A and B are shown apart, each in its own frame.
Chain A
Amino acid sequence: DTAVSQTPKYLVTQMGNDKSIKCEQNLGHDTMYWYKQDSKKFLKIMFSYNNKELIINETVPNRFSPKSPDKAHLNLHINSLELGDSAVYFCASSQDTSRTNEQFFGPGTRLTVL
């Protein structure tokens, strides 16, 4: 019973391509997130959605477009991929936007742009 799942687990693609990563949570949570962990292992928030509404967008290039069709899903579409987009992307969810709530992370998607 995977709580937060992401597909694909690995993604290797060429510069300039467009790709999507999917995320689903079965925890009944209201809030979902996308994080990027770069080669130096720093984990940074990209987006946060609460009940399908965008609430955080941390100066991410507009080549990155999140989409939340319902509160259990938050997908990430990336246009015109660049070398610097290579990273591990983690999806996460929490009960709601309360600051004390634990965030549950998916297993990550390792994106390599060649």
Chain B
Amino acid sequence: RKEVEQDPGPFNVPEGATVAFNCTYSNSASQSFFWYRQDCRKEPKLLMSVYSSGNEDGRFTAQLNRASQYISLLIRDSKLSDSATYLCVVNMEGAGNMLTFGGGTRLMVKP
């Protein structure tokens, strides 16, 4: 079983749609959680951290369910520029700042 699992997609949605991505992680000792965004042939960039109480940043809302080991990302009012791969990222307990990445979910927003 992969440590961080995501549906690879692609999710094809029209502009203005609301879309949600889910992610599960296997290690219950995981401490920190993030969503990174990766555009085609570019480097990953932090989209947002995910906090236990859930958090929102503009059109983006992240939720964490530690009991179910489940993380979600909701994007409201999708824009063409949201088209990218969204990477669910977990930081395990232990030495260093070692990020474990999911395989990513590809989003394509169409006009």
Instruction: Tell me the chain B residues, 1-57 only, with Cβ under 8 Å from chain A.
Output: 31-32, 34, 41-46, 49
Interface size for A (C-beta < 8 A) is 27
Q: What distance in Å separates the Cβ of A1 from its nearest Cβ neighbour in chain B?
A: 16
For the complex, what is the distance from the CA of A99 to the CA of B103, rounded to whole Å?
20
Residue of A nearest to B43 (CB): A105
Interface size for B (C-beta < 8 A) is 22
Residue of A43, A90, A97 touching B97 (CB-CB under 8 A): A97
Taking the complex as formed, is B98 at the interface, i.e. its CB lies under 8 A from any CB of chain A?
yes
For the complex, what is the distance from the CA of A14 to the CA of B81, rounded to whole Å?
38
Residue of B44, B95, B101 touching A56 (CB-CB under 8 A): B95
For the complex, what is the distance from the CA of A111 to the CA of B61, rounded to whole Å?
36
Taking the complex as formed, is B78 at the interface, i.e. its CB lies under 8 A from any CB of chain A?
no
Q: What distance in Å separates the Cβ of A73 from its nearest Cβ neighbour in chain B?
A: 18
For the complex, what is the distance from the CA of A106 to the CA of B98, rounded to whole Å?
17
Taking the complex as formed, is B87 at the interface, i.e. its CB lies under 8 A from any CB of chain A?
yes
